[in-house]
């Protein structure tokens, strides 16, 4: 059994969102996203994977498709396959987000790149 302490992955970068892989298997991919001030991520998406976005700390403005919500710690949102996801820190305090997708990105592998921005 493999266990990890999510707090070990909470680190921030001045130049943008910091992303750390929590777990990756053949059927699941999870990443911890750390945001300071007005930092954000997205839009990102995957046409073949659903995702769950969980706010672990702070507050974030989350947009899924055309819907938008300001979310607080412990709140979640479902991101259906094919939907664009944009996450932005919504307060002065840092925000930490857990993003879980299934199945994992098609290019997979332990060195899977961060989700790629969508082109309009």
Instruction: State the pLDDT confidence band at 105, using cuts at 50, 70 and 90.
Output: confident
Instruction: Kindly tell me the sign of the dihedral angle through the C-alpha atoms of 14, 90, 23, 66.
Output: negative
Structural domains of the chain, ranges and CATH numbers in brackets: 13-101 (2.60.120.10)
Distance CA 10, CA 64 (A): 24
Least confident of 8-17, 33-42, 99-108, 109-118: 109-118
Q: Which pair of structure tokens corresponds to residue 79?
A: 């991101």
Number of neighbours of residue 78 by Cβ within 10 angstroms: 10
Q: Is the pLDDT of residue 119 over 50?
A: no
Q: Is the pLDDT of residue 110 over 50?
A: no
Residues 34-79: tens digit of each pLDDT: 999 999 999 998 999 999 999 999 999 999 999 999 999 999 999 9
């Amino acid at each position: 059994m493999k266990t990890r302490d999510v707090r070990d992955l909470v680190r921030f970068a001045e130049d943008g969102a910091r992303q750390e892989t929590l777990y990756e298997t053949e059927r699941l991919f999870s990443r911890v996203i750390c945001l300071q001030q007005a930092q954000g991520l997205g839009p990102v998406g995957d046409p073949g994977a659903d995702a769950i976005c969980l706010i672990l700390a702070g507050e974030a403005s989350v947009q899924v498709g055309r819907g938008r919500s300001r979310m607080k710690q412990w709140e979640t949102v479902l991101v259906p396959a094919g939907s664009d996801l944009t996450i932005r820190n919504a307060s002065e305090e840092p925000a930490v987000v857990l993003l879980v997708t299934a199945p994992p990105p098609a290019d997979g592998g332990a060195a899977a790149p961060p989700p790629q921005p969508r082109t309009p």
